Amino acid sequence: MSVCCRRQMRIPEEVSLSGFDNILLSTQVVVPLTTVEQPIVEMCSAAIGIINDKLRRRAALSPESEEHVFPCRIIWRDSMRLSLD
């Protein structure tokens, strides 16, 4: 965003920007940033549960062992152009 501003590119008229994690800063910049919000607490709880379960069973941790899908949501703000007209 700072590079776009230095180059006098208009957000979102000339370039759309988005971020990830919905940090507080995304609302405090010149153009509020559209972002993806993840369920961090639920993700951490699941990870801790997997690790604890593996430790109890003395099983090896491996990236392929389990997959969890968590719902994310888009927080629409002024940095994204919503239509192509």
pLDDT per position as a tens digit, 11-54: 999 999 999 989 888 999 989 999 999 999 999 999 898 888 88
Does residue 34 lie in a domain region?
yes
Please count the structural domains in the chain: 1
- Find out whether 33 and 67 touch, Cβ atoms under 8 Å: no
Does residue 22 lie in a domain region?
yes
Does residue 54 lie in a domain region?
yes
Estimate to the nearest angstrom the gap between the alpha carbon of 27 and the chain centroid: 14
- Between these two residues, 57 and 35, which has the higher pLDDT value? 35
Does residue 35 lie in a domain region?
yes
Does residue 81 lie in a domain region?
no
Does residue 16 lie in a domain region?
yes
Prediction pTM value: 0.70
25 by DSSP, 3-state: which?
Answer: helix
- Find out whether 79 and 16 touch, Cβ atoms under 8 Å: yes
